Amino acid sequence: MSRSIQIACLQTRPMPDCEMAIEEALNLGVEAVVSGAKFLALPEYCGGLVTKNGAFVPPHANEESHKFLKVMREFATKNSVWVLIGSIAVSAGRGKYFNRSFLIDSNGAIVSRYDKVHLFDVNLSEREVYRESDFVVPGGKAVLVNTPFGVIAHSICYDIRFPNFYRAMCKAGAEIIVVPAAFTKTTGQAHWHLLNRTRAVENGAFVVAPCAVGAVSGGGESYGHSLIVNPWGNIIVDGGENTRVVIGKIELSAVKSARSRISSLKHDSDYEISLANS
């Protein structure tokens, strides 16, 4: 089993339709392959994203007929690379959809699926309000997947604010946490780097976090700054604020090293809480 891999985060823009999203993903994908990447990671809603009155209304289709998924599976096969589709909108019926992530192997096979568990319902200000749950059906389980280069833990964007979610997956063996996102610029400037580095440090895991960048049709702006963070919390690469390919090499032996130095996963336990002045 190879324990190192060249990873590319494709820092795409939130496109208003699937065709434009495919064109940009393929252009950046070719650049990543030419640069030697063997694992390509795309952001959340990489198949298109539109907002309407604070709700997310991206283009969506059934999984079997979703054009973005089909094209990226073909790309993975043609170029013998693994591809993380950060998420696309998959129809769930009655006007709703799943915010679903896919991991595709180098033969084009879907090896895992994950439906976003924690939905982005927040009030950032009187003018900036988001209600993902208006249209999205939440997932109900965490997902781990064995790959030739390590055990990957799925997550999407807002999930990163729930540390116990990652703790459970890393205690179950996860070595690489993926956090595809369309983080807002408001929250990104305040918390993006902090949260990704914290999840890496507290779990002794690599974090691969491709984030969309730029304005969203209908309102809002994605932060960019796609990150690859090592298990000691050091940022290997930072994508900045432009559309681009962000490449970094990870060596999985760093996970074992970090966890042997600070064994917090082994020391973790459930706690009884008592009120001192009761």
pLDDT tens readout for residues 186-205: 999 999 999 999 999 999 99
Contact predicate 135/106, CB 8 Å = no
Percent of the chain residues topping a pLDDT of 70: 99
The 8 Å CB, 24+ separation contacts for 188-191 are 188/222, 188/223, 188/224, 188/225, 189/223
Q: Please tell me which residue in 18, 38, 44, 132 is annotated as part of the active site.
A: 44
Structure confidence by residue, pLDDT tens digits, 106-145:
999 999 999 999 998 888 887 777 888 889 999 999 999 9
CATH of 4-267, one of 3.60.110.10, 3.30.1180.20, 3.40.50.2300, 3.40.50.300: 3.60.110.10
Confidence of residue 97 (pLDDT cuts 50, 70, 90): very high
Q: Please tell me which residue in 18, 116, 132, 185 is annotated as part of the active site.
A: 116
* Coil vs helix vs strand at 187: helix
Annotation marks residue 18 as catalytic? no
Annotation marks residue 272 as catalytic? no
Give the C-alpha separation, 208 to 179, whole Å: 6
